[in-house]
Amino acid sequence: MTSRIIPVSAFDYVVFGATGDLTYKKLIPALYHRFADGQFDENSRIIGLARKNLTNDEFKQFVKKSILEHSDKSLIDEKNIERFLPCFHYIMNDIFKDNGWSELAKILRKDENIVRAFYLAVPPSLFAPICENIAKYGLWRCDARVVVEKPLGHDLASSKAINNAIEKTFCEDQIYRIDHYLGKETVQNLLALRFANILFEPIWNYAHIDHVQISVTETVGAGNRAYYDETGALRDMVQNHILQLLCLVAMEPPASDSANALRDEKLKVLHSLAPIRGNDVERLTVRGQYGSISSENATVKSYQDELPPDLKGSLTETFVALKVNVDNWRWAGVPFYLRTGKRMAKRMSEIIINFQQIPHSIFSHSDKAPNPNKLVLRLQPDEGVKLFMIIKDPGPGGMRLKEVHLNLSFADTFTERTPDAYERLLMDVIRGNQTLFMRRDELEAAWAWIDPIMQAWKESDKPPQIYSAGTWGPTASIALIERDGRSWHDEDDF
Ligand code: BG6
């Protein structure tokens, strides 16, 4: 792969929550990678704000530690790190008090002409006071950007409240709502696959596709995170990441790659999702919670056992599977099966397009029709695309049919490092490109679809089904797809 680094203009990234986990594990390493690749230089400044009483030097040590722990080992270079560290400045700031804001204003005023971005790596309850202070201290500019991240609400009403608070200071063109899945290379590759090739689009519809599966499974647990217990798998993964993936699979070709052209098409998909409410919730959704599992060597705790005492008995789902219909002409009668969970058998994110059976088999020696074609897009790990096809098994023995796959493994095809999603997204903010960020109406359409499911679960007297840690979720999830005569894609089949 020939690398084409397009340098971005100098910028000021003002990061609120500068000593938090997101900054430490994702933002600093991503910025370092872009710096090491030469995408920006020392004229850019990264100004961290947090409540901790740190000196500039102490903050730089924190930055260095983050790079050493979380950046790609192939890019760690002492000289680069030493060139990168002077970009950082630290300001002690309590968002609710006056300290720090004037100092921030002073630093920003040193160069009024460079791109200005505010990254709110803090809980949403702090978005409103931060935005108010940005205006109050004269830090707002009509070309400034603000970056926010989930959880952008826990339902439609709270999501509206968050957006209203941000919009008191910033307008939609200035707001970058991150869904880091959109920054993943393979997710963008889905756009290339669909719209830069003629092959798939003519058959990308109800006439040729039997069903679609989207699985995002993780092996890690969730129990220690109080935030997760208030959230659960449906809000944490489906409302954002998985629905965004579904949109990219299901949307009509946008007229261009402009941010709004793409987001208009995604919005239409969200508006076409068949509502799941009332009695349908039990039929079309499965929620689970992981139980413990013990082997000779180790015991994996159940979700309940990981929780602090005051949260015991929680009904929060750590797994969800759904059968979803997209009620429009292209997808009439084509179910989308979605599933995601913590403490599953494998970490894996895949989109599987299952094509229809051939209409008639001419192969009289074969007692069953050949397996239908299948296109598998693997987002992680082992990013790549596989097309399952039927060929003749070579050699004598009659016309024996065999399933093989055309394999486009990214690791084998491209030798360069695959950038982390944040690298792309952080630079897109500086470039002013909102294509891979969610617009307010998309976010709200997703919540409007999720809310009735949450409501029905709340009213239900059935708790989530327990599944053993390290498995593929509750048996009801297998039944959800098998009662339609289909099955989840075999995870080893890649
Ligand atoms: C986050 C969720 O948005 O995505 C986490 O809040 C989840 O619970 C994570 O673990 C998964 O992201 P990735 O990139 O590791 O698939």
18 found inside a domain = yes
Statement to judge: residues 378 and 420 lie in one domain: yes
Q: Best of 149, 179, 180, 382 to mutate for ligand 1, by most ligand atoms within 8 A of CB?
A: 180
Query: Hey, how many other C-beta atoms are within 10 angstroms of the C-beta on 33?
Result: 21
142 found inside a domain = yes
160 found inside a domain = no
In this predicted model, what pLDDT tens digit does every residue of 63-117 receive, in sequence order? 999 999 999 999 999 999 999 999 999 999 999 988 899 999 999 999 889 999 9
Query: Hey, how many other C-beta atoms are within 10 angstroms of the C-beta on 220?
Result: 8
- At residue 1 the predicted structure's pLDDT band, cuts being 50, 70 and 90, is very low
Identified catalytic residue from 89, 154, 241, 489: 241
Statement to judge: residues 144 and 189 lie in one domain: no
- At residue 227 the predicted structure's pLDDT band, cuts being 50, 70 and 90, is confident
Q: Which residues are near ligand 1 (CB < 6 Å)? A: 218, 236, 349
**Region for residue 17 given its phi and psi (left: phi exceeds 0; alpha: psi -120 to 50; beta: otherwise):** left
172 found inside a domain = no
CATH number at residue 119: 3.40.50.720
Range of the structural domain that residue 410 is part of: 182-493
**Region for residue 271 given its phi and psi (left: phi exceeds 0; alpha: psi -120 to 50; beta: otherwise):** alpha
**pTM, two decimal places:** 0.95
Domain count, the chain: 2
Confidence (pLDDT) at 493: 61
- Output the CA 181–ligand 1 centroid distance in Å: 9
- Output the CA 227–ligand 1 centroid distance in Å: 13
How far apart are the C-alpha atoms of 278 and 460, rounded to whole Å?
A: 10
Active site residue 241: yes
Q: Which atom of ligand 1 is nearest to the CA of 380?
A: 16
Q: Which atom of ligand 1 is nearest to the CA of 218?
A: 10
Give, in degrees to the nearest 5, the angle at Cα 37 between 35 and 40.
Answer: 40
How far apart are the C-alpha atoms of 368 and 400, rounded to whole Å?
A: 11
Q: Of the candidates 233, 186, 98, 251, which has an alpha carbon nearest to the alpha carbon of residue 414?
A: 186
Q: What is the largest CA-CA distance in the chain?
A: 83
Closest Cα to atom 4, ligand 1: which residue?
A: 237
Q: Best of 21, 152, 154, 218 to mutate for ligand 1, by most ligand atoms within 8 A of CB?
A: 218
Please give the sequence-ordered ranges of beta strands (E in DSSP) within 250-292, or none if there are none: 285-291
Alpha-carbon distances of 382 from 144, 236, 352, 378, rounded to whole Å: 37, 24, 15, 7
Statement to judge: residues 229 and 144 lie in one domain: no
Percent with pLDDT over 90 in the chain: 82
CATH number at residue 406: 3.30.360.10
Confidence (pLDDT) at 492: 65
Q: Which atom of ligand 1 is nearest to the CA of 220?
A: 10
Give, in degrees to the nearest 5, the angle at Cα 354 between 323 and 289.
Answer: 35
pLDDT beyond 80 at 226 = no
- Output the CA 469–ligand 1 centroid distance in Å: 18
50 found inside a domain = yes
Q: Of the candidates 340, 356, 368, which has an alpha carbon nearest to the alpha carbon of residue 240?
A: 340
Go through the chain and tell me how many residues it has: 494
- Output the CA 341–ligand 1 centroid distance in Å: 10
In this predicted model, what pLDDT tens digit does every residue of 160-175 receive, in sequence order? 999 999 999 999 999 9
